[in-house]
């Protein structure tokens, strides 16, 4: 079922709640792929009534970014959503979400001020704002996010806690293609040769994992090796590479417990992100 109006969505969800159903919610920007499907399948299993939103949110793109080029395929997405068992697709227009005179944004400190937040100023303000709006529209629910957008998931969790939202957040592992490339709607922009070069992100993360398993504990050394791998791809340009605490995203110099290794790399005109949680204990086992 496709719903475009907030009032209609609310009516349907009130009825579902009256029937005692729990609500699962998978927010997306469309161009659905296996990464989204894994979230949808989990939501399907764990909740009774499943809503997926498809909304390419203008406020999380800077004027210089790829809002206009972001892949859109509502018809294809609706078919896929129905096949996989989504009960309702909420696909509002920009005007429905951002009415004339819109002036209220959600701004989070600290967690948003590094990694993707540094290279994409305003991005997390747009994400926090639209996710707040979506949670207010959908109401109490279990909401599903992918680990690929790790920083986003940390920001959303913090926001839900800070603003007392009645939403349970579930974060599920990154889905990869058979050669390791993380699923992303932006992979569609890659040429054949860029698609090959894009593997450098995963290879750099695997190198980090191997180094930690071999006993390396200095983040600086790990990042140096990761840089060498990415430098081997001619059209790659590093945006950032970090080893950070998975909770507060602060830099870690010496690895003692689990860390998040994350990177953003431009492959030609396409910016890709990826990450891995790496733990010295697990690697030593």
Catalytic residues: 36
Of residues 117 and 197, the one with the C-beta less far from ligand PAF = 117
Tell me the torsion sign for CA atoms 11, 13, 19, 20: negative
> For binding to ligand PAF (CB under 6 A), which residues are involved?
27-29, 57, 60, 127, 130-131, 149, 152
Which residue reads 């429905």 in tokens?
96
Of residues 107 and 191, the one with the C-beta less far from ligand PAF = 107
Q: For residues 279 and 285, what is the distance between their CA atoms, to the nearest angstrom?
A: 10
Q: Find the shortest distance in angstroms from Cβ 152 to ligand PAF.
A: 6
Question: 169 — phi, psi (to 5°)?
Answer: -100, 130
**Residue 80 C-beta-side C-alpha neighbours within 13 Å:** 18
Of residues 60 and 219, the one with the C-beta less far from ligand PAF = 60
Of residues 159 and 267, the one with the C-beta less far from ligand PAF = 159
Of residues 17 and 125, the one with the C-beta less far from ligand PAF = 125
Q: For residues 180 and 182, what is the distance between their CA atoms, to the nearest angstrom?
A: 6
Residue 165, classed as helix, strand or coil, is coil
Q: Find the shortest distance in angstroms from Cβ 185 to ligand PAF.
A: 8
Q: Are 204 and 230 in contact (CB under 8 A)?
A: yes
Per DSSP, 215 falls in state T
Cα 282 → chain centroid? 25
Q: Are 182 and 148 in contact (CB under 8 A)?
A: yes
Residue 180, classed as helix, strand or coil, is coil
Q: Are 94 and 58 in contact (CB under 8 A)?
A: yes
Q: Find the shortest distance in angstroms from Cβ 282 to ligand PAF.
A: 27
Q: Find the shortest distance in angstroms from Cβ 150 to ligand PAF.
A: 11
225: CB partners within 8 A, 6+ apart: 204, 207, 208, 211
Q: Find the shortest distance in angstroms from Cβ 227 to ligand PAF.
A: 27
Of residues 47 and 152, the one with the C-beta less far from ligand PAF = 152
Q: For residues 243 and 90, what is the distance between their CA atoms, to the nearest angstrom?
A: 37
Q: Find the shortest distance in angstroms from Cβ 121 to ligand PAF.
A: 16
Q: Are 2 and 91 in contact (CB under 8 A)?
A: yes
């Amino acid at each position: 079922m496709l719903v475009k109006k907030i009032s209609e969505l609310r009516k349907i969800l009130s009825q579902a709640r009256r029937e005692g159903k729990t609500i699962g919610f998978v927010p997306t920007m469309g161009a659905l792929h296996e990464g989204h499907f894994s979230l949808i399948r989990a939501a399907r299993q764990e909740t009774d009534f499943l809503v997926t939103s498809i909304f390419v949110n203008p406020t999380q793109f800077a004027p210089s970014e790829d809002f206009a080029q972001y892949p859109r395929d509502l018809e294809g997405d609706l078919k896929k959503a129905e096949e996989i068992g989504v009960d309702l697709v909420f696909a509002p227009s920009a005007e429905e979400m951002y009415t004339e005179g819109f002036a209220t944004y959600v701004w989070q400190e600290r967690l948003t001020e590094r990694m993707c937040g540094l290279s994409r100023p305003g991005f997390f303000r747009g994400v926090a704002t639209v996710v707040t709006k979506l949670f207010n529209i959908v109401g109490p629910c279990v909401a599903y996010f992918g680990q690929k957008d790790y920083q986003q998931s940390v920001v959303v969790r913090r926001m839900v806690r800070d603003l007392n939202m009645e939403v349970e957040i579930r974060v599920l592992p990154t889905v990869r293609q058979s050669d390791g490339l993380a699923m992303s709607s932006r992979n569609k922009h890659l040429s054949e040769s860029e698609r090959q070069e894009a593997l450098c992100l995963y290879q750099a993360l695997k190198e980090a994992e191997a180094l930690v398993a071999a006993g390396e504990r200095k983040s600086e050394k790990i990042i140096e090796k990761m840089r060498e791998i990415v430098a081997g791809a001619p059209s790659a340009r590093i945006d950032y590479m970090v080893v950070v605490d998975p909770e507060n995203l602060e830099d870690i110099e010496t690895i003692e417990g689990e860390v998040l290794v994350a990177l953003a790399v431009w492959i030609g005109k396409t910016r890709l992100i990826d990450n891995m949680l790496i733990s010295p204990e697990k690697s030593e086992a």
